Structure 1
Amino acid sequence: MLASDSLSSLKGKVAVLTGASRGIGKAIADALVKHGAYVVIGDILVAEGEQLVADYNANAGSKVAAFIRTDVTKYSDNQALFKLADAEFGGVDYALLNAGIGSNANSMFTEMDDELEERMIDINTTAVIKGTKVALLHMAKRGGGSIVHLASVAGFFSSPSLASYNASKHGVIGYTRSFQLMPRICNVRVNAICPYWVETDLISSVKQTGKEDDPYYNIIKNSPRTKVKTVVDGFLTLILDEARNTQTLMALPEGLEIMEPLVPLASFGNEKTAQLQEEYLKNAVQTAKAQLAAAMERYFLAKI
């Protein structure tokens, strides 16, 4: 249970959310608005997104939300989304990179269609990378922030009938765990919330393989469910607890649980590499700060 005093710190904060016109993203947007945050939603579901934002603003009696059509696979759309948050509400404190698909999850013997095959990784994985790179620059400008990737327990556990989906979410987990130094570079934390099956449209989207229902769907539809509230609580925990970074927090039917990364094997290093690791850590933050400064100059000073 999140303490009311910690939730009160959401008041006046600005959150950018992708894929939040409905489902998990909408539930998280609902919670943010309820506790006084501003939300900027990017989604390809234009009618639903615009209606949701209109409802937020009408209920609040003021502008607390904005929407822009966003194809998360495109840098230009991600940039427009975060720049809208700057323009409307003065900056970005939090980001939920939530957009994802489950269709073509089992692609082992489907048609060899380049576009269809790439779509899963483009939306579920590459778009997270693109969104994170844009979010980092806006949060660095703001003085810090928190990014949450919507991953899945499929980033740790695999089923033969979800091969491509498993791959996409394993990629997100590996990416999330690569931000160990980011708080020291620009005061930005990056974590992932990893739900088990939640009752959303994604479940029905994995039903078919080609022209026939996938037999694994019978297991999915009879499996226990994670409550949407558990996912929302996990997201809020990750953004509000400043001690959390590169955590992969599972949202399970029984509650929240951290999935710890594997411990490196002793054979992965020796005395020389230990020394080199120390030298790397001494220099890596300063090197990254210089790279960040150059990236911010390119991004914010570029001619439009």
Structure 2
Amino acid sequence: MPWKAVAATLLAAALPPVVCGFFFGKLAIAALIAAMSAHLASKDVRSGTAGLIVFSTGLAGFVCLGQPDMTLLVAPMVGIAAATAGHYGFARPVVRGLIFWTIFTSFLMPADQPEALFVVYCLSMLWSLIVTHLAGLSATLPPEEATSNHYSVVFGAVFAVGLVISVYVGQRHFGAHGFWFPLTFVALCLPPHGQLFSRTWQRGVGTVVGTLLLFALGQIASDPWWIAPIGVIALPLGFRILPQSYTGFITCLTITVLAFLNIATDIDTLAFERLATMAAAAVMMAPLAALGALALWLIKPEALRALQ
């Protein structure tokens, strides 16, 4: 990625949570969710469409705010929405908008300040959309494959089931950072679906390498504030090498996220949770993908051939 695009990406997606975190603390999480989701979605489609998608997924998150059980009811509807969008060639921006939505179900969000969260979310989304548009990055990625409407129903069913399972397991077995499991699952479901297994492998390798590198640094430097600057350096470096090396990007992104979470949580706990949830998402993805492939083979074999 050209350095100019890297700078625009950081300005659009990283500046809102940094500014918000400096003045308002944990409200920065809402700024991160909105800004990153809006930037990613607007690279697929025009700014207006991206804004509608990110606002809608944000509302789904706000419905679940402070109510973990409500997430299990909303998740299937989100899967249906993604499938419907996929039928018209818009599954990718919807899934991008959902990658960070799962954080709404974690204990990181200050559920006692819904009005402030909503304002921060909307302002950060608008900022990101405007910056991305002015930088000339809107709708610059190749369009979604034309055959996606052929398997949108099967994709929606698999996506909905996997999202419910990952949210349920994440909430009950991975503690305060239970969002890792559904977040990873959603990221693996990004179109094009023909690259599912190769992307899962690359994301797995990048996650393991990034986690182990930061874990090793954590054993050397006990003060997390010495590690945080490494995350600052890793983020633009990750965007710089994207898309030449997706594995390298995931490695840098993992280092950045863990470096900042390490300020509030022990690195040993973070490393275990990250590796465990990545493994769990990959293991769960295999049988779900197999069931989806079987359904396509029985119902619409031409769609399965298109994926291959």
What TM-score comes out, normalization by structure 1 length? 0.32
Higher relative contact order structure (alpha carbons within 8 Å, sequence separation ≥ 6): 2
What TM-score comes out, normalization by structure 2 length? 0.32
More strand by share: 1
More helix by share: 2
